[in-house]
Every structure is written in C-alpha cells, then in structure tokens.
Amino acid sequence: MIQIKPSDDHSGKLLTNMPAWLGNNDDYQPVNDNENFLSKTILSVITKLTALRENSTAHTDVFFTASFKIFLTILLILFISLSHQLLFLSIVLSGFLIYLCSLTGCTILRILKPAAFAALFSLLIILPAALFERSSFFLLPFKVFLTTGAVTALALSTPFYSITKALGGLHIPGLFIMILDLTVKYIVLLGHTAQELLTALHLRSVGKNRQKYQSLGNILGMTFIKSQEYASATHDAMLCRCFTGEYHISQQHHMEIRYIVYVMIIIILSSIYFFTEGYL
C-alpha cells in the first residue's frame, strides 16, 4: 500500500491509504479485431429495412388504382404461364422494357436483379432438358423472368397498405390478408430490434472477440424472445379492440373515364393472348 501524508495545511488528519494499482498509468491498448462480419451484418439489416421503408412510402399512380394493378398482374401471370408461343412472351417483354424506360436507374436495378436471379436458377434446373434436344426448354426461364419482374414491379410501385386495402376490396379472405399484413409489419419490427442489438454489441466490443458466432446466437435468441412478447401484445390488443379477423373496406364506386381505360387494357391484353395462341 502507498501512504500519502497530508500536507502541512491539513496536519493532524489520519494518513490516507490508497491501493497500489491506482498509481499505475492507464496504458491499455486493445488488440485490433476484424469487425467486417459484424459491420456487414448491420449493413445488410439496414439495407433491407430501408427497402421496406421505401416501399411503405412508394409512389402511387393516381390514374391506376392498386386493385387494377393487382388484377392486371394476376391476369398477366396467368397468360404467361399458359402461353406456348414465343410471340406472346416477346410482346409482353417489349411492354415490360418500355415500362422500365420510365423508371429510375435504381428502381430498374431493383426490378431486374431478382428477376434475373430467378430466371438463372430456373435455367440451371431445366438445363438437363437441353440434352434431349428440346427446343422449348428456354421458355420456362423466360416465363420466370417475366412473372418475377411483374410481381417486383407491382411491389415497388404500390405501397403495402394499398395492396392490403385492394385485397380486401377484391374479397380475398381476411385470414390471408391478416397473415400477410402481420408478417410484413413484424419483419420490419424485428429487423429494427436486431439492428439495435447489433449496434449495441458493436459499441460494447472492445478488443478481440473470439466468440462472434456465439454473440450472434445470443442476438437471435433475444430477437426470438422479443417476437414472443410482440405476439402476446398484438393478441391482447386484438382482443381489446374486438378484432374478428375481417377487413371491412368502404368502397364508393363512381363511373369514371379511367375505368373504361382499364377495361380496354384488359380486352387488348386478352385479345393479344388468344390471337397469338391461335384461339382466334
């Protein structure tokens, strides 16, 4: 122990005892650690949350309603799936490319990237068909590209709450809408929770962490526990509000010019399909 004698001005006081380690210099130098794994995980979570946040405030067309977009997308996917002629698929591809020309570069990339990956995956699956000299084996990747691009374009151009409202207006079962609504909302909520836990771990990590995967497992466990709490709170809120699982959408239909345009678009698309397939 180090004994410090009081000064002359404080004579008569007792000696103060202080531990020896308090007299040492603070020269701790933490070992450098590679935090790329943690940084990339945080960046990935933030990127996905940003994409979902942008979708919630997506630009909505005043002329084309969400109900018409959903109905047209379902009809287009049906025609693409049933098509056996390359001419109809080429016409749809031409219209799809014209639509992409009106979008920004970032939006075009967000549409083409999942469509290209899905088409490539389907091409790898159906590639053995080329060994049997089937000339139409490339139609499946072509169809997958068009359908995935159509669904992605719908998701990026229409906010999620408008899609939920449109599904209720189309008399889709309420259970399906509720599951879809809660799934998307809780993906965002749990993503924010995981982001906060990862940020807290990043700020508290000093020196070299040799148990990164164990720390990540702890974060996943905490996220799972929070999901249980959120689920219980949501269930109690539904009981308090007497929610029965039904979505009541108030609709006031008035005859407008755009409805005529909607019908014309559907008739033109149907006519092109039946003509190119040889039904007319």
User: What was the pLDDT predicted at 58?
Assistant: 52
pTM for this predicted structure: 0.67
Length of the chain equals 280
User: What was the pLDDT predicted at 2?
Assistant: 46
User: What was the pLDDT predicted at 148?
Assistant: 92
Phi–psi pair at 33, nearest 5 degrees: -125, 150
* Secondary structure class of 142 (helix, strand, coil): helix
- The contacts of residue 191 (CB under 8 Å, 6+ apart) are 45, 48, 49, 52
pLDDT tens, per residue, the chain with 280 residues: 444 455 555 444 444 567 776 667 766 565 565 556 666 666 676 666 666 665 555 555 567 788 888 889 999 999 999 888 888 989 999 999 999 898 888 888 888 988 999 999 988 888 877 676 666 677 888 899 999 999 988 888 887 777 777 777 777 777 777 888 788 788 878 878 877 887 777 777 666 666 666 777 777 788 888 888 888 888 888 888 887 767 666 566 666 788 888 889 899 999 998 988 887 6
Instruction: Using alpha carbons, select from 54, 33, 35 the residue that is nearest to residue 198.
Output: 35
Q: Is the torsion defined by CA of 217, 218, 219, 225 positive or negative?
A: positive
* Secondary structure class of 269 (helix, strand, coil): helix
Unique residue bearing structure tokens 């909302």: 185
| β-bridge partners, 16 | 4
